[in-house]
Amino acid sequence: MRIGELAARSGVSIRLLRYYEEQGLLRSTRSAAGQRHYTDDAVERVAFIRRLLAAGVSSRVIAEVLPCAETPGEETFDSAMRRMELERARITGEIGDLVRRREALDALVAEAHEYRRRLVASGPV
C-alpha cells in the first residue's frame, strides 16, 4: 500500500509516517518512481508504535524494542523486556518527582493561606 492508504488505515498523518520512517520505526520499499510502499503489517506496526508513544516511551527506545516484534526470539524478547522494565522504572521515578513537587506546592499554598489568615486577623495595617 502507498503512504496515503497507510495514513488513512492507521489514522496517522503522512507527515508522521515519514517521521516514523526517518526514526527507523517503520520501513517501506520504494517504487521505480520513488513512491513509498508498505506491507499490510504496517498498519499494526503503526498502532503498536502509537501505543508505546502513549505510554511515554521515546522513539529512540521504541527503535530498540521493535526488533522483538519482527523476530520474537528469546534473545530479542528478553532484551526488549529489560528495556521496557527500565522505561517503567524511569516513569516511576518521574512520578515520585511529580508527587514531591506537588507536595511542595501544597505546602506553599497552605503557608500562603495561613499568612493571609493572620493578616486579616490582625486588622488593617
Instruction: Give the model confidence (pLDDT) of 15-54 as tens digits.
Output: 999 999 999 999 999 999 989 999 999 999 999 999 999 9
Q: Which residues pair with 30 in a beta bridge?
A: 36
CATH of domain 1-54: 1.10.1660.10
pTM attached to this predicted model:
0.74
Instruction: Write down the domain spans for the chain.
Output: 1-54
Q: Is 30 helix (H, G, I), strand (E, B) or coil?
A: strand
Over residues 43-88, the pLDDT tens digits come to: 999 999 999 999 989 999 999 888 887 777 888 889 889 999 999 9
